[in-house]
Structure 1
Amino acid sequence: MRPAPARGIPGFDHLDLDRLRGRGSVKWHRPERDVLPAWVADMDFPTPPPVVAALHEAVDRHDLGYPDWPDGSPLRSAFAKRMAERHGWAASAHRVREQTDLIQCLQLVLHLATSDGDAVAVQIPNYPPFLSTLRTMSRRIVPIPMKDTDDGWRMDFAALDTAVKRSGCKTIVLVNPHNPTGRVLTPDELGEIAAIARRHDLLVISDEIHAELTYTAHRHIPFASLSDDAARRTVTVTSATKAFNLAAIRCAVTHYGPDRLLALRDAQPPDLYGTVSPLGVIATLAAWEHGDAWQRDLLTVLDRNRRRIRDVVRDRLPLIRHHLPEATYLAWLDTRPLGLDEPPVEKVLRDGRVLLDGGAPFGPDTEGFVRLNFATSQQVLDEILGRVVDALGGQEG
């Protein structure tokens, strides 16, 4: 029996499934109509009102011509200001460059800083497009497995140090907060990584796109803010798209710490890697400058939803291993103790009509894991969870 829908939070808990299915975005458009999607990392919530207003204003005034940005877009100073206000990091606006999305940011940095066959360390499990990027670019992946402990997911720093030394690796892609486990690295943990990076002279490419989706009691710390040495060796990549549900605006930023890399970047033909849309800049500025109230409500909803998953898994699927995510809107579930005779993503889709993500695309030894996107309404999440429990043979609620 499904719980009766609660009143919920206006703007977040009253979603029309027909409207969601009518969108052209891949999350709801690709699955069959009777399938509830909880796979790709898009939220179901409406666009933040300040962003909608800013975009309407630009269109209404017919402001769709070439932008006048001789010294770069306004994102550069806006990013530096947000980092200072939120994290106490004195990021330099002069070191910020715009790109169309985070994956392009990563690919460009790898193109400039590494060559075919070079070793790149990366946490496992990891965001599938990052891993496929490394394979497509013929970079040798040095996997650093995250450890599932009684206290949650942890990095093995001795293993990282050994792997970097043995492989001759000179680059690490650090995902923090971590996708898919939801782990937020502590100051001590970041300090361990910084020491390893200094010892082996590593370039650190720090993906911090989920930074603003960190829950109370945890604190995101930009890697480049740790020390002068960390700042000089770190390239930070991020965007407003995850924390404000703006994937289609195609707008991201890269902050270059290393002087050499910034010079290489600026020596490229100016349009070789595309230019960011002015509408993407307008949407990002509106989110950063006027979207904090919306984001606070969002985090309230996501906090409730992550706890709902924890409770349902504990009570109705007690064999599954799961840790309450410290950030993101993604739950990483280990179904291997269930002893299923087929991949759980396939079983849940067939028997529960819910589309999850998981398995081999997240890296070695991830078969049997699923990733569940919980950025949806209370009612939709309860229906998703009910179907998943039934498909996996869970206990009665």
Structure 2
Amino acid sequence: MRTAQAQGFPGFDDLDLERLRARGGVKWRRAGRDVLPAWVADMDFPTPPPVAAALRQAIDDLDLGYPDWPNGSPLRPAFAKRMAERHGWSASAHRVREQTDLIQCLQLVLHLATSDGDAVAVQTPNYPPFLATLRTMNRRIVPLPMRDTDHNWQMDPAAVDTAVKRFGCKALLLVNPHNPTGRVLTRDELGDIAVIARRHDLLVISDEIHAELAHAPHRHVPFASLSDDAARRTVTLTSATKAFNLAAIRCALTHYGPDRLLALRDAQPPDLYGTVSPLGVTATLAAWEHGDAWQRDLLTVLDRNRRRVHAVLRERLPLVRHHLPEATYLAWLDTRPLGLDEPPVEKVLREGRVLLDGGAPFGEDADGFLRLNFATSQEILDEILTRVVEALGGRRGGAGAGDRMAP
């Protein structure tokens, strides 16, 4: 394939297709040789240089022995510091616990705080592994459908209140910024949810892993920062993996607001749920302490790409409903107005040779939707858009600015 043009962003736009296909990760490995993957939420960009340097240094120093962390890893104060600097939230380092993965964080909290058959309210559509976790753990899913309005996707506070009361929910799983719609809930919207949580004594499990991928002027507000009551009832789940493209380091954090839940967690055998790798801690610290410049460039690229997706869809697939994502690198596309005779994921793969996500795994009423990952180079994204548009019968006209890429 030809390389990106000089005016692009080095490290972001100079991706080589053959090197991407040679990667061992699931995103590219699962796609065929002639397929472009834009499905799972991994970015195509290389590891941030400060993170790569820190990991190399640990290897060069032969520093792979048991860590000396009698009071927890150094991520605990680092998390508290970052929350204060980024969001003005006075999180407590003493309430932070490390896990290997955000899904594990959720599963542990559900295991400790809820019981078999308990009702858990959750926005729909939603991240498929979260919904699968609730089903596997036999927690009754109470869907809180997001409403597609003229301006964005919204939660309906009255509907949330009614559903929580009707089904006697024990917990609310809040994904904010939201995957897959890309919404960033405002302080007022979060305040409405906080009132409902207090009224019904809900545990709020707040997944905030996309917090650092909010696009200006939208700003992330940690749910636990809203009030003392919100802080006491909220468990916050997060990681550096999404904002710095580090999924394989297997390092995530849980901030426990409820005293009782933290005590239950600490009463468990110390290694029952695994321990975080020192290399995961090294990578996360390097990202948080030295990766901000890289992240600013990343957000510039993602902002350009989200606008590109939005513009191409409006021009060439005007019937497909789509809102400019306020956060993340994921676009949520409603293809139902096209009246397709097969699931859009299958159609785009068969006719366009692009692998996307979507459909029933994202919850009730998600059939006919596609989730498109636009965290890739300008050239690859343009080729993805060209193929998707053609597969869905869009108007003619190139989405890209050059020749078609070689398969």
Q: Normalising TM by the smaller chain, what interval?
A: over 0.9
Residue 152 of structure 1 and its aligned partner are, at CA, apart by: 0.7
Within the alignment, does 1:53 sit opposite 2:64 as a pair?
A: no
C-alpha contact 1:5 1:378 (8 A) present in aligned 2:
no
Q: Does 1:22 align with 2:25?
A: no
Change (3 A) 1:26 1:5: same
Q: CA deviation at 1:7?
A: 2.5
% of aligned pairs identical? 85
SS state of the match for residue 322, structure 1?
coil
Could you say what the CA RMSD is over the residues aligned between the two structures, in angstroms? 0.7
Q: Alpha-carbon deviations, 1:2-45, whole Å to 9, x = none?
A: xx957311110000111111110000011111000000000000
**Is residue 252 of structure 1 aligned with residue 252 of structure 2?**
yes
Question: Distance between the aligned counterparts of 1:31 and 1:289, measured in 2?
Answer: 35
**Equivalent position of 1:104 in the other structure:** 104
**1:322 aligned to 2:322?**
yes
Question: C-alpha distance in 2, partners of 1:364/1:191?
Answer: 26
> Would you say how many aligned residue pairs link Structure 1 and Structure 2?
394
Q: Counterpart of 2:80?
A: 80
Taking the aligned partners of 1:361 and 1:114, their CA distance within structure 2 comes to: 23
Corresponding residue for residue 113 of structure 1:
113
In structure 2, C-alpha distance between the alignment counterparts of 1:274 and 1:103, rounded to whole Å = 13
Provide, for residues 114-137 of structure 1, a one-character-per-residue CA deviation record: whole Å limited to 9, x for no partner.
000000000000000000000000
Aligned partner letter, 1:374: F
Determine the C-alpha separation between the residues in 1 that align with 2:187 and 2:253.
24
1:150 partner letter:
D
CA distance in 2, matches of 1:5, 1:316: 24
1:350–1:176: structure 2 CA closer, same or farther, 3 Å change rule? Answer: same
Query: Where do 1:272-283 residues align within 5 Å?
Result: 272-283=272-283
Contact 1:106 1:237 in 2 (8 A): yes
Matches of 2:364 and 2:198, distance apart in 1:
28
Cα distance in 2 for residues equivalent to 1:187 and 1:64: 43
Q: Does 1:266 align with 2:266?
A: yes
Helix, strand or coil: the match of 1:321? coil
**Where in structure 1 are there 5+ consecutive unaligned residues?**
none
**Which residue does 2:312 correspond to in 1?**
312
CA distance in 2 between counterparts of 1:151 and 1:373 reads 21
Please give the alpha-carbon distance, in whole angstroms, between the structure 2 residues aligned to 1:381 and 1:306: 10
Change (3 A) 1:220 1:84: same
Distance in 2 separating the partners of 1:329 and 1:267: 38
3-state DSSP of counterpart to 1:73: coil
The Cα of 1:170 is off from its aligned counterpart by 1.6
Alignment partner, residue 298 of structure 1? 298
Q: Deviations over 1:358-394 (max 9, x none)?
A: 0000001100000000000000000000000000010
Give, in whole Å, the separation in 1 of the partners of 2:275 and 2:297: 32
Q: 2 CA distance for matches of 1:50 and 1:6?
A: 23
Secondary structure of the residue that 1:184 maps to in structure 2?
Answer: coil
Q: Work out the CA distance in 1 between the residues paired with 2:151 and 2:243.
A: 26
Q: How far has the Cα of 1:396 moved from its partner?
A: 1.3
Partner of 2:239: 239
Pairing 1:184–2:175 present: no
**Superposition TM-score, scaled by structure 1 size:** 0.99
Q: Distance in 1 between matches of 2:355 and 2:336?
A: 18
Q: Give distance in 2, aligned partners of 1:151 and 1:310.
A: 13
* Structure 1 residue matching 2:235: 3-state secondary structure: strand
Q: Give structure 2 stretches of 5+ with no counterpart.
A: 398-407
Distance 2:187 2:81 in 1: 22
Q: Structure 1 segments of 4 or more deviating over 2 A?
A: 4-7
Q: Determine the C-alpha separation between the residues in 2 that align with 1:258 and 1:388.
A: 46
Paired residue secondary structure (1:9): coil
- Please state how far the C-alpha of 1:298 moved relative to its aligned partner: 0.1
Q: Structure 2 length normalisation: TM-score? A: 0.96
